[in-house]
Amino acid sequence: MHSDHVEGPPDTMQLRWHFNSGGPQVDLVCAEDTDAPAGHTMSCGNFSATIGDPLIAAGERAQRLAENPNRLPGGPSDLINLMTFAPTQEPVVVWQEGDVIVGRDLLSPRLP
């Protein structure tokens, strides 16, 4: 999880929650939690579970639910289908839908 990965998904999921809360979940594909040598944990799971927290703190989720109680009550995080994979030195398919395949040739932590 780097800044280029965490900027954008909160906005995307917020809009999805506003306008298609009843639609299918969105796959979020990322590596399993990784403990960095510096002592912190890089966690896509925590990121996805808390993606709407600023909206909760600001009262935005409660306001939007008051306007439309048909939205998912848990907010944008309810729309995420978290799919994690273990880092590996071998090529690996990390996501596939129909003819679209996403893979990585080499997955290794690059953490300070």
DSSP string for 31-47:
EPPEE-TTS-EE-HHHH
Domain assignment of residue 97, yes or no = yes
Domain assignment of residue 110, yes or no = no
Q: What is the pLDDT of residue 51?
A: 92
Domain assignment of residue 73, yes or no = yes
Does residue 112 have a pLDDT over 50? Answer: no
Domain assignment of residue 109, yes or no = no
What stretch of H or E contains 44? Answer: helix 44-49
- pLDDT digits 0-9 by tens, 36-57: 899 999 899 999 999 999 989 9
Domain assignment of residue 39, yes or no = yes
The type of residue at 29 is V
Domain assignment of residue 10, yes or no = yes
Does residue 89 have a pLDDT over 90? Answer: no
Q: Which residue would you say has higher pLDDT here, 109 or 22?
A: 22
> What is the greatest pairwise CA distance in the chain?
49
Q: By residue range, what is the domain housing residue 14? A: 3-104
Instruction: Count how many domains the chain has.
Output: 1
Domain assignment of residue 34, yes or no = yes
Domain assignment of residue 111, yes or no = no
